[in-house]
Structure formats: C-alpha cells, structure tokens
Amino acid sequence: MSGVLGPALLAAGAFVLAPSEPIARPTAAPATPSRPDEGSYVTVKGRKLYYRISGSGSNLLLLHGGLSSSDDFEKIIPILSRSFRVIAYDRSGHGRSPDFGEPFRYDAMAEEAEAFLEGLGVTSTAVLGWSDGGVIGYHLASRRPGFVTRLVAIGANTRVDGMAAETVEWLQAKSTGASLLADLPEVAATYRRLSPNPGRLESFLLRSRDLWLRDPYLAPESLRKIEAPVLLVAGDHKDIRVEHVLEIRSRLKSARLCVIPGASHFVLSEKPHLLMPIILDFLAS
C-alpha cells in the first residue's frame, strides 16, 4: 500500500477512472498560477484537478500519499522550488479535487497523472512520490520510459505483504467506515475541510482500504521496464518492510537505496534534515 500506519495512520493513495475508459486529454494548457501559493484547476476528462506550480527550472512532479493531498509537501516545496519547477496536484477524490465515488486503482491514477501533465504541456519530468504517490511513480515510469527522467519513491511498496504484518492486520480489522473514522480523526477533519464532496468521507476511507489490500500494486515485470534511475527511500521501522524495498531494488535497472534510521513511513516529515540533501543530490546528479 503506501501508507497506512497502524492505528495512527495517514497512508497511501488512489484514483478513480475505470482503466478501460480512455482519458481524454485537455485541448489546451491552463494558465500557470500567478503566485507559487496560488492554486488553480485543470480539467481532465471533464473533471477538475487542483494544482500548484512553484519555482523554475526542470520539471519535478510531486505525487502525494493516500488519505491526503498535495499539502503533504508544504514544508519541502520551498526547498525544491529553488532548483526546480515544482508541480503538485491533488488526485481525483483527494484534497480539493472532486470525489466521484469510483473505486481507487493505481493504474488509473497513473493514467490520470499522465493526462494531467500532458494538459500542462509537460513532455518530461522528474517525479517524487510518497506512499501511494511512489506507487503511481512506478506505474508512470514503467508505462512511459523516457517521460520520467528520475524517480524518488518514498515508502512505496508493490504488494500487500510489503507492509509490516501488524499494518496489514490493522487494515483487515477495519472493515467499516465507522471503525476507520474512529482511528483517523485528523484525516476525517482534513477531508471535510478540503473536499468538494465531504459527504463521501466514509466511502473514501473504505475505497482507500480496499486499494491497499488488493494485490498486486504493480507486477514485477512492470518494474523491469523502468528505465529512469530510481531513489528508493524508507524508514527503518514500521509499516513498509526494508526487505521488500531491497526486493524492489533488485528488479530495477538503476536504483539507489536510502534507509533512514529512526524513521517510519512518515520519514519525509520526521527526518527532512537528513533526507532532503540526499534527494537533491540524486535529482541533480
């Protein structure tokens, strides 16, 4: 999955278009927001996606985790935008982008990301994805070799058992919207505050849970198609097993591994002073 964390969790992500239905590309690129902190919307297949662009230089797409939004990156966007044109958006059904209630699927999320970038006129980009965003990054790099120039995948597993056993057990035990709400009050409050469809909260939580318990997130042969260099990042305890990350590394053509001591699935917010120099060095090399 990419990010549920036992009873205290904020996890991975998902998306909403049926994969059998092709996504219509926008016919014109929207205007770039006039200020870095000013969001805008682009329409993909008749659906609005909220996004922000900051900085200048080569493109860097940020893909957020599940149960969350592009606000995941609020603290690091100012750092990244010193060197890159940083593009961050809320996936369908997340954050400020409308939720239409469809099942979440990683392949559809990647298809949406591709259409979103084409709508902005982006022809190549580096990608930094956390949790479900990292899984989407794998899909995007696999389906479009050459389009993704570099990929940073933080806490991104490719199978259910890539999560720690206690995390899987927690997910399996939370079979109702009410049980998930009881453990995730902060997620609920943020969804109600940001979402144009706050009444879909319990469905949103259950669809996310279903995504994380559905194998596989990505087939091994898809990892082997990735041409871009990949930086794999994980904390050394909780939620995503380091052994699984090592397995992912063995299937990639060009990969570096970074395990941050004393960090969990939320390594990006827990240890940014350790992680950001490593990410910047990888993206610049």
- From first to last of its 285 residues, the chain has per-residue pLDDT tens of 544 544 444 443 332 333 333 333 333 344 444 444 569 999 998 889 999 999 999 999 999 999 999 999 999 999 999 999 999 999 999 999 999 999 999 999 999 999 999 999 999 999 999 999 999 999 999 998 889 999 999 999 999 999 999 999 999 999 999 999 999 999 999 999 999 999 999 999 999 999 999 999 999 999 999 999 999 999 998 899 999 999 999 999 999 999 999 999 999 999 999 999 999 999 998
Looking up tokens 């954050």 gives: 95
User: Taking the chain, what is the end-to-end CA distance rounded to the nearest angstrom?
Assistant: 29
- Packing angle of the helix pair 201-212, 185-194 (nearest 10 deg): 120
Tell me whether strands 40-44 and 230-235 are parallel, antiparallel or unpaired.
unpaired
CA 265, CA 237: separation in Å to the nearest integer? 8
Q: In degrees, to the nearest 5, what angle opens at C-alpha 260 toward C-alphas 256 and 261?
A: 140
Give me the domains of the chain, ranges plus CATH numbers. Answer: 6-284 (3.40.50.1820)
Tokens of 279: 């990410």
CA 194, CA 240: separation in Å to the nearest integer? 28
Contact at 8 Å (CB) between 55 and 86?
A: yes
CA 224, CA 238: separation in Å to the nearest integer? 27
Is the pTM for the entire model greater than 0.75? yes
CA 205, CA 66: separation in Å to the nearest integer? 9
If DSSP codes are grouped into helix, strand and coil, which group holds residue 111?
Answer: helix
